[in-house]
Structure 1
Amino acid sequence: MTLITAKDGAQIFYKDWGPKSAQPIVFHHGWPLSSDDWESQMLFFVAKGYRVIAHDRRGHGRSSQVSDGHDMDHYASDAAAVVEHLDLRNAIHVGHSTGGGEAARYVARYGNDRVAKLVLIAAVPPLMLKTGANPGGLPIEVFDDLRNQLAANRPQFYLNFASGPFYGYNRPGAQASQAVIWDWWRQGMMGSAKAHYDGIKAFSETDFSDDLKNITVPALVLHGDDDQIVPVADSAPLSSKLLKRSTLKIYEKLPHGLCTTHADVINAELLSFVAS
């Protein structure tokens, strides 16, 4: 397997497809998945002549199941280690959900001359948790419930999550794909329960406002208005306002897992932005 060693010794798995001389697109996956969740996008862009890279976050997928470091600072540092190992420059970074937070922190702290553009898709920034300064966020009880379900019966919790709100399969008339559900479950169960449990705090309680304010590259912010995981009202429009050079696009009736359920729509949108 292709692995690099992070600063604290964690082994990070990554994929690197396409010509080494081509412009790189780096994909940051969501919780509790792996780089496999980007297959539709990676196959699409490698066929267009781009170099595509995606890694498994620590404790996820094929990366090592370390006990510690399941927070956004380590996530961004691990991403930086992959980028530096491959010496990627002029890269477009694309993050979905938790990966959007990771990508934003990476670009803000490590991007410098290596990043050309940023894309946030159904992403957790600027802050998911309801606070005095963020009254539109979700109450802590929502995230406590996720932790409780994970600890009580992780396999069943993940099956329910993928079968219902993640892809919008709980909506009237939705046609659920059992293959998609089981692939989500497979990816989730590959990872560490400890990493996933700790990761809930990372994606829900991290405030990315300063990261977004410090990003100067062009950014594209995409979100579905029927996102049941990261509600659109308290995420995409607020992130777009904090970014210096952003374009916001909100899709009617699309769910959180829109990169899978509507890959053709998202891929065309990404290609337009990447190629511009």
Structure 2
Amino acid sequence: MAFVSTKDGTQIFYKDWGPKTATPIVFSHGWPLSSDDWDTHMLYFLAKGYRVIAHDRRGHGRSTQTDTGNDMDTYAADLATLTDHLDLKGAVHIGHSTGGGEVARYVSRAKPGRVSKAVLVSAVPPIMVKTAANPGGTPLEVFDGFRAALSANRAQFFLDVPSGPFYGFNRPGAKISPGIIQNWWRQGMMGGAKAHYDCIKAFSETDQTEDLKGISVPTLVMHGDDDQVVPIANSGLLSAKLLKHGSLKIYQGFSHGMLTVNADVISPDLLAFIKG
């Protein structure tokens, strides 16, 4: 297994598959998951001749279960440590949910030449929580409920989320996959409870308006219009307007977890954007 060490000694696990001379695609996962959430897409792009890279965010998956640094600035700094370590040039960065926030912060501050394109999939920017300046956001009480459920019984909470709103399995007629639910639970329970608890604040309360405005590379925003976790009206639609070179693709009826349950649609669309 491959790891890179950050300035504070955190060990970040990563996968790096494919020819090292090929165009690199870097995947950032959502909360509370791991790089494994991107496996289907990594295999798809590997077969297309790309170099594919994904890491476990600190406190998640196989990376160090840190009790500090569980914030968007540090997540982006950790990603920068990885891209420096691998000396990536002209990489395409793709982030899902919280990973989209990580990508937005990293790409807006990346060294020249490191990034060629970016994709935000069902991503949390510009800011999730409802405030006076963000009246369409999700009330803070919802995120307080997440914290309470995680603290009381993380194992059950991590079954309830994927069984319901995350993949839209609570919708009438939904094709439910026990394997996907169990894999979500497996990934979540690999990580640290403290890091997961802190990350709720990071993904919900971090204002990334300036990050989005600061991104200079072509950026694709992909979002399902039935996302029950990160509603499109206050995320994807707003992000696309803030980006200098942004484009928006809306998926009718798709859930927050569309990258998994609709991978057959998402992967080709990602490929078209990367090649375009």
User: 1:253 aligned to 2:250?
Assistant: no
1:70 and 1:14 map into 2 onto residues whose CA distance is 18
Q: CA deviation at 1:56?
A: 0.1
Q: CA deviation at 1:113?
A: 1.7
Q: CA deviation at 1:134?
A: 0.6
1:273 is paired with a residue whose SS is helix
1:196 and 1:186 map into 2 onto residues whose CA distance is 14
Which AA in structure 1 matches 2:225? D
**What are the Cα deviations for residues 26-67 of structure 1, in whole angstroms up to 9, with x where unaligned?**
000000000000011100000000000000000000001111
Q: Which residue of 1 aligns with 2:87?
A: 87
Q: Which residue of 1 aligns with 2:104?
A: 104
Which AA in structure 2 matches 1:103? V
Q: Which residue of 2 aligns with 1:63?
A: 63
Alignment of 1:109-188 (within 5 A): 109-188=109-188
**What are the Cα deviations for residues 173-210 of structure 1, in whole angstroms up to 9, with x where unaligned?**
11110000000000000000000000000000000000
Structure 2, unmatched stretches of 5+, are none
- Runs of 4+ more than 3 Å apart: none
**What are the Cα deviations for residues 143-194 of structure 1, in whole angstroms up to 9, with x where unaligned?**
0000000000000000000101000000001111000000000000000000
TM-score scaled by length of structure 2: 0.99
Q: Which residue of 2 aligns with 1:47?
A: 47
Which AA in structure 2 matches 1:252? Q
1:143 and 1:82 map into 2 onto residues whose CA distance is 30
Aligned length: 276
Percent identity for Structure 1 against Structure 2? 65
1:111 and 1:245 map into 2 onto residues whose CA distance is 18
User: 1:224 aligned to 2:228?
Assistant: no
Q: Which residue of 1 aligns with 2:11?
A: 11
2:237 and 2:88 map into 1 onto residues whose CA distance is 30
Which AA in structure 2 matches 1:261? V
Q: Which residue of 2 aligns with 1:191?
A: 191
- Mark the CA change 1:256 to 1:211 in structure 2 (over 3 Å): closer, same or farther: same
Q: CA deviation at 1:112?
A: 2.6
Q: Which residue of 2 aligns with 1:212?
A: 212
RMSD: 0.5
Structure 1, unmatched stretches of 5+, are none
Which AA in structure 1 matches 2:87? D
Q: CA deviation at 1:274?
A: 0.5
Q: CA deviation at 1:239?
A: 0.3
2:182 is paired with a residue whose SS is helix
